[in-house]
Structure 1
């Protein structure tokens, strides 16, 4: 079994990352010719990733609960690289909140701006909050779902660190209902591990949190919901 898992993991490494180079080159060309086409390239890359996960790693994807589509703020558990890419299979052109410094990376930052990543400043001043509010409202007006990983980084399966301030900021700024989503991808594809096991990755959709709640109550409800698969 370990040998099969190792061979599958190696095949995924070679095929997915090798194929990703072609998508990156395509996105670079699109960046200079038609920047909006970067969204289509990113969506195609996500579908390619989903197929690699299914047919090379033997990982299936299951969604528990009804996943509403529309003007929502989607808050997700973050355990592995899987969900960061797979978001584009769950939603149509999601606008994903990410650390502001990622947009300053040469070349990649330009592609991220074309895609419409939402910059989040860890120590946000008034100007940073205004920029985030404007970008989020623009994405919302364009019909793009807004997504955030509130833990800020990947955590091992079963751990439940407190939410970072970015969630409270977006929750207050946007005034949108929140859909919390638990993910257990870390069971099969742990952070920093070469071996990735076959099995089922589950998204568990929690109860929608209405806008306007006190910060502590909203954070408590979201925190519980995104960690629903920890057991």
Structure 2
């Protein structure tokens, strides 16, 4: 009963705050990109505050040190927590790779494009791939990190999903070290109702650019499932 009450209060607080930030998104569309970055980081920080104070979930980060410069983060995806938390986790205006269908959502798609989200079309032609590469180079030159969910969808805790084919192409396009990240948000935030406890990020060793596809995918799959001991990877 208490967990259900906490979940309801979290929804009221988080989505209520999100509504006011959504209103700020409209003028931010016509301002320099810094305004949209502020909205995104504030939204993520508000989410983390609600998770910690209302749901009673601690967030801890363990593992290897992060690269000093820009990197591509490939993160396990167990719930919506890590998607919203990305700017807070990486402490900056991270550039997500997202399904192209999301970029076609009215208003959201326009705001995402202004922020710098890069749409990925798995059946795209050469022209679309070149446009994606230009966006990635521009964000890279600005010193921004990138993030993607290599399994392409949420995967329940304890399971290992299949890596999407676009992972290697993005790895080659960015030319950045790839940092695999395990996260176990499915144990707490991903439950219904949500449960108090701890969400743990486990940052893996950075994988240098230029590896062959098979080696990259093997290392990523093992690293992002490091908190799923029951998974066969």
Same fold (TM over 0.5): yes
> Is the 1:96–1:118 contact (alpha carbons within 8 Å) kept by the matching residues of 2?
yes
Cα drift, residue 29 of structure 1: 2.1
CA distance in 1, matches of 2:228, 2:138: 35
CA distance in 2, matches of 1:148, 1:207: 17
Given the two structures, how large is their TM-score scaled by the length of structure 2? 0.94
Q: 1:208 corresponds to which residue? A: 206
Q: 2:121 corresponds to which residue? A: 121
Q: 1:41 corresponds to which residue? A: 39
Q: 1:228 corresponds to which residue? A: 226
Q: 1:77 corresponds to which residue? A: 76
Q: Would you say 1:25 and 2:34 are equivalent positions?
A: no
CA distance in 2, matches of 1:123, 1:219: 20
For residue 29 of structure 2, give the secondary structure of its aligned residue in structure 1.
helix
CA distance in 2, matches of 1:84, 1:135: 20
CA distance in 1, matches of 2:207, 2:195: 33
Superposed CA RMSD in Å reads 1.2
For residue 27 of structure 1, give the secondary structure of its aligned residue in structure 2.
helix
Given the two structures, how large is their TM-score scaled by the length of structure 1? 0.95
For residue 32 of structure 1, give the secondary structure of its aligned residue in structure 2.
coil
Q: 2:167 corresponds to which residue? A: 167
CA distance in 1, matches of 2:139, 2:128: 17
CA distance in 1, matches of 2:23, 2:117: 19
Cα drift, residue 229 of structure 1: 0.4
Q: Would you say 1:12 and 2:10 are equivalent positions?
A: yes
CA distance in 2, matches of 1:29, 1:59: 33
CA distance in 1, matches of 2:203, 2:68: 12
Cα drift, residue 211 of structure 1: 1.2
CA distance in 2, matches of 1:218, 1:194: 35
CA distance in 2, matches of 1:57, 1:127: 45
CA distance in 2, matches of 1:34, 1:140: 18
How many residues are matched?
227
Q: 2:109 corresponds to which residue? A: 109
> Is the 2:66–2:206 contact (alpha carbons within 8 Å) kept by the matching residues of 1?
no
Cα drift, residue 128 of structure 1: 1.5
For residue 154 of structure 1, give the secondary structure of its aligned residue in structure 2.
coil
Structure 2: state its 5+ residue gaps: none
> Is the 1:36–1:114 contact (alpha carbons within 8 Å) kept by the matching residues of 2?
no
Q: 1:132 corresponds to which residue? A: 132
